[in-house]
Structure 1
Amino acid sequence: MRDSLSTDTRLALDLALTVRHDGHGGVADDLTDPAALTAWVRARPAAVPSAADFTADAVTLGAVRDLRVAVRALFARAVHPAAPSSADAGRLPPAAEALARLNSAAARTPSVPVLTWGDGAEPRARRQPVGGEEELVAVLAQAVIAFLAGPDRPRLRACHAPRCVRYFLKEHPRQEWCEPSCGNRARVARHHERHRGHG
């Protein structure tokens, strides 16, 4: 992925990618309990305000997982008419419900624009929740909205390599898979399929 991705784009993709293939043909979830969510948030100090002090509870975990379902539904809509991730086929809420969930989550915390301008850097605007307690779900939802309404969304694709359930941003015209290893698995699967037909 490009280093030039916005914080919002990276955060939106990172949330969707907490659903991944488990290496054995199944689907794994990186957000299985509050401790896993706490670790995930703390690993993103540039994207999530007060990440270092964040500790998840069961309610926050449930809200983030509900938001992730909406995000993956909207990612599936964004890649249409191509097929969604195989982890999502037939398991996602309708787009209208996903939009309502996303917008409701984004509204949980009023926010204001804050300008940062470090030495030798360009000025950057980011949204900062107002008040004391940072609302993780709102921060995530607002990042997803910025991504889906932004310039990177048209490059969003679902990887259709065997066992892969990831979404990715297409970096060049011939890119079909999220990673080279997925391309290798897809080529091997095609090779076996061709030779099975001649056997």
Structure 2
Amino acid sequence: MSDLVPLTGEPLALDLVNTRPATGDLLATPDDLRAWLGLQADRFPEARELAAAELTAADLAAVHAVREHTAGAVEHARNATPPPAEDLEHLNRAQREAPAISELAWNGEAVTATLRRTGSPGARLAAWLAEAAAGLLADPAVTRVRQCEAHDCVLLFLPAHPRRRWCSAARCGNRTRVARHYQRHKPA
């Protein structure tokens, strides 16, 4: 698996932070952001709609800001130290800039309520991602978030099993095992 393909499947806030691996930025353009949203389509109500929207450089900048503040806050929280007030305030502000409402509709049989946000696509996306960060930061499990043990990897994960050591067994796990095998069997 290439380092240029975003890992998905961790809490949404970690998936966002992990778009900045050691090899560069996986969200360098609005098209990259649109592709990443496509991978996250089932993670929050408006993901598909936002992936289809015309995303701009300003929208991308809003997501980058949420990513950086999330990364800073998670780094502190996972080490059981207080996150910087600036990081928390930015995440709060991002949520306030695109308030959520429960949009009511009749589906022919019953009233339905769908959570929707108001504002520009970038503000709505930043708010959803900041909300995901807030959920992770407030969860006591945040102290279990780990960094991949591969020497050249900076990705984070929330292990479901206490012995998990790598962001991905297919990515870093295999690479580490192959390197170890080579070291044990290399010609003298």
**Post-superposition offset of 1:164:** 0.6
**How far does the alpha carbon of each residue in 1:123-146 deviate from its partner, in whole angstroms, 9 at most, with x for none?**
xx9742147867111111111111
Aligned match for 2:95, one of 99, 102, 106: 106
Note the 1:31-180 alignment, pairs <5 A: 31-46=27-42, 47-49=44-46, 50-80=49-79, 95-113=84-102, 127-130=115-118, 135-150=124-139, 152-180=141-169
Q: 2:18 maps to what in 1?
A: 17
| Letter of the 1:182 counterpart | C
State the TM-score, normalized to the length of structure 2. 0.70
SS, match of residue 11 in structure 2: helix
Q: Which has the higher helix share?
A: 2
Q: 1:3 maps to what in 2?
A: none
SS, match of residue 20 in structure 1: coil
Identity rate, percent: 38
Q: Hey, which bits of structure 1, 4+ residues long, moved more than 6 A? A: 188-194
State the TM-score, normalized to the length of structure 1. 0.67
Residue 126 to residue 79, structure 1, CA distance change in 2 (3 Å): farther
Q: 1:182 maps to what in 2?
A: 172
**How far does the alpha carbon of each residue in 1:101-133 deviate from its partner, in whole angstroms, 9 at most, with x for none?**
111111111113579xxxxxxxxx974214786
Instruction: Determine if contact 2:21/2:155 at 8 Å carries over to the other structure.
Output: yes
SS, match of residue 40 in structure 2: coil
Two-structure CA RMSD over aligned residues (Å): 3.3
Matched residue count? 163
CA distance in 2, matches of 1:79, 1:182: 21
Instruction: Determine if contact 1:162/1:185 at 8 Å carries over to the other structure.
Output: no
CA distance in 1, matches of 2:173, 2:63: 31
Instruction: Answer with 71-80 or 148-157: which moved more.
Output: 148-157
**Post-superposition offset of 1:62:** 0.8
Instruction: Answer with 33-42 or 179-188: which moved more.
Output: 179-188
**Post-superposition offset of 1:169:** 0.8
Any unmatched runs of 5+ in structure 2?
1-9, 105-112
